Amino acid sequence: MAERSWSVQDAKSRFSEVIEAARQSPQTVTKHGKPAVVVVDVTEYERLQQLDRASAPSFADVLLAMPQDDGEFSRDAVRMRDLNL
């Protein structure tokens, strides 16, 4: 079954059919004539999640990508506030 576009009203009244069609290919649901959501089979969704996780950098990668400047950090010239303790 090919990808199909459903209006919200059609998708609501024929939800079981939308699910069955989504098992074969993604199904687009439109609202006011514009694409709103895509219904996909759970195996496709899980595959996409794995791809997303695989391409995300690890925390260590993020830390190692930080600029290294031998510990020197520039400070903005700001006036310290008065503390009347």
pLDDT tens-digit readout, 3-16: 899 999 999 999 99
Rg, Å, the chain Cα set: 25
Residue 12 DSSP one-character state: H
All residues at 6 or more sequence positions from 7 whose CB lies less than 8 Å from its CB, including other chains: 29, 30, 31
Confidence band for 62, pLDDT divided at 50, 70 and 90: confident
* Domain range list for the chain: 4-64
Q: Does the predicted model carry a pTM greater than 0.75?
A: no
What CATH number belongs to 4-64?
Answer: 3.40.1620.10
